[in-house]
Structure 1
Amino acid sequence: MATPPQPQPQHGGPYDPYTAPVPPRSGPSGPGYAGPQPYGAYGAHPEPGRYGCRLCGAWPAAHATVRGHQGMIVLMRFLSLRGPFCRDCGLATYRRMSSDTLWQGWWGPLSLFITPVTLLMNLGPRAAFRKLAPPAGGHRPALDPGRPLWRRPPVLLLLVPLLLLVLAIPVLILIGAVVGDDAPRPLTSGQCVRNTGDWQLVVADCGSASAEYRVRRPSPATGGPCGPGDFLAHPEYSADGTLNCLTPLR
């Protein structure tokens, strides 16, 4: 007995995958619409085939080397961390290594000169990091840069000596101007003096063994010459500018 032919499905039915009506997709205001998805912190890399930050994978990143130094009296350590770094990770690395260098780098004779050079070398990477756009497309969060270097406690180890050096010069000049050398007191005829060095005269008792010279005024009648073997005192030991004669006592 022959099998009757099976009816063929007609296109256009409700289950036809080619002609079944497709429900309209919800628009921007419809339910379930999330909108266009930008690159997030953990999305696809914005520039495939390019290397991102070595710490978080974000882009853009700059190739730079941040350096540090540790002085240990006799020994020393040279530290470095090579990029690429994104903006946030680079600034965080720069600030951390420079801050550590500010308090770890001075403890050695050669380290006193190496530490300032290391800090200056880090200014180049810092400028490169600051020019970068905010990081995007990383596989983990970028590092927090934290407070700027000049607002961290170790910077006081650099600022305090510099401040003291700057203030020391005017302070020394002021002290010298206020105190100065003691002006010598004018001598009078008949006094005895002794020489304390470089003809700094000090009044002494004429009967003591320390007295070396007797002061006398030159004679106006003879034009004011001193006797043979006498010495002349400096003008500052005279009240009126007339040179006093110093006659040796022995």
Structure 2
Amino acid sequence: MATPPPQHGAGPYHPYAPQQGSPHPYGLPPQAVPYGLPPQAVPYGHQPVPQAPYGCRVCGAQPAVRATVRGHQGMLVLMRFLRQEGPFCRDCGLATYRGMSADTLWQGWWGPLSVFITPVTLLMNVGARARFLRLAPPAGAIVRSLDPGRPLWRRPSALAFLVPVVLLAFVPPVLVLLGLAAGEDKPPALITGQCVRNEGDWHDQKLLITDCGSANAQYRATRPADKPGGTCAPRDFLASLEYSPDGESLTCLTPLR
């Protein structure tokens, strides 16, 4: 007697039931995602987004949107490119975005090329985040949705990255501003009767005002050289213009001995 052909669906397992030992990373086989869930009402203030044909890959909730969240790890010579593809509901998408971006902030910089790849990866995740934020709250989940947790910039890994970045961004401009504010030490303007000593040469003068009774005093400022009757004596020297009150007149320096 011929053996009858096996009937469709015969056997200990339903043909559409999830199989044991599913390799799905989140514990949900693709077959367990509910199809045909009715569309959820979009609350006021949310823009409708294109919906995936089935629910969130993590919890099965609707509405869900297709998006890819990326991560990067730099390991000096080697590097790793990470990605998680949707569809995601709002909560699971935000949790995935915040977790992978926070890890990238402190793991992604340790390599010559990773320094450039990491900011590109973080910017690409911003688009996925915007799509998640436009979704309505998840409904009809099979398992509990992921907890989005704290915002990205309030996480320790992000703060540990931001502190040196902020310091590197602000310290150079502050140092430049301090240097401009301080400026170079302007030489003192010489007044007739003051005594000075020259610690440089006459091509590069460095005149310091000194007590006329001191043994270090070398010259006395006698008079401006370019005023009427202000011709310097034969043995006098001329102070540079930078030591004049107006920056335009020369002062005679008469040796004290």
TM surpasses 0.5: yes
2:69 aligned residue (41, 66, 70):
66
- How much does 1:111 deviate? 2.1
Q: 1:194 to 1:56 in 2, by over 3 A?
A: same
Q: TM-score, normalised by structure 1?
A: 0.62
Q: 1:156 to 1:233 in 2, by over 3 A?
A: same
- Is the 8 Å Cα contact of residues 64 and 135 (structure 2) preserved in structure 1? yes
Q: Tell me the alpha carbon deviations over residues 188-211 of structure 1, each in whole angstroms, 9 at most, x when there is no partner.
A: 687552437982514599xxxxx9
- How much does 1:136 deviate? 3.0
2:146 aligned residue (143, 146, 149):
143
Q: Tell me the alpha carbon deviations over residues 58-116 of structure 1, each in whole angstroms, 9 at most, x when there is no partner.
A: 22221111011112223222211111112111111101000101111122233222222
Give the total of aligned pairs. Answer: 199
Map 1:89-168; keep pairs closer than 5 Å.
Answer: 89-164=92-167, 165-166=169-170
Q: Distance in 2 between matches of 1:107 and 1:82?
A: 25
The alignment partner of 2:65 has SS state of coil
Counterpart residue number, 1:14: none
Counterpart residue number, 2:204: 199
Counterpart residue number, 2:240: 233
Q: Tell me the alpha carbon deviations over residues 23-42 of structure 1, each in whole angstroms, 9 at most, x when there is no partner.
A: xxxxxxxxxxxxxxxxxxx9
Q: Which runs of 5+ in 2 are unaligned?
A: 1-31, 39-51, 211-215
- Is the 8 Å Cα contact of residues 36 and 54 (structure 2) preserved in structure 1? no
Q: 1:61 to 1:245 in 2, by over 3 A?
A: same
Q: 1:79 to 1:245 in 2, by over 3 A?
A: farther
Counterpart residue number, 1:33: none
Instruction: Percent identity, please.
Output: 53
- Is the 8 Å Cα contact of residues 194 and 209 (structure 2) preserved in structure 1? no
Deviates more, 1:104-113 or 1:183-192: 183-192
Corresponding letter in the other structure for 2:251: N
The alignment partner of 2:54 has SS state of coil
Q: Distance in 2 between matches of 1:137 and 1:221?
A: 101
The alignment partner of 1:55 has SS state of coil
- 1:173 aligns to 2:180 (yes or no): no
- 1:76 aligns to 2:79 (yes or no): yes
Deviates more, 1:93-102 or 1:67-76: 67-76
Counterpart residue number, 1:47: 37
Corresponding letter in the other structure for 1:120: L
Q: TM-score, normalised by structure 2?
A: 0.60
The alignment partner of 2:83 has SS state of strand
- Is the 8 Å Cα contact of residues 43 and 137 (structure 1) preserved in structure 2? no
Q: 1:44 to 1:117 in 2, by over 3 A?
A: closer
Corresponding letter in the other structure for 2:177: I
Runs (4 or more) in structure 1 with deviation over 4 Å come to 42-46, 186-192, 202-205, 213-217, 219-223, 225-228
- Is the 8 Å Cα contact of residues 238 and 250 (structure 2) preserved in structure 1? no
Q: Distance in 1 between matches of 2:103 and 2:202?
A: 54
- Is the 8 Å Cα contact of residues 191 and 215 (structure 1) preserved in structure 2? yes
Q: Which runs of 5+ in 1 are unaligned?
A: 1-41, 206-210
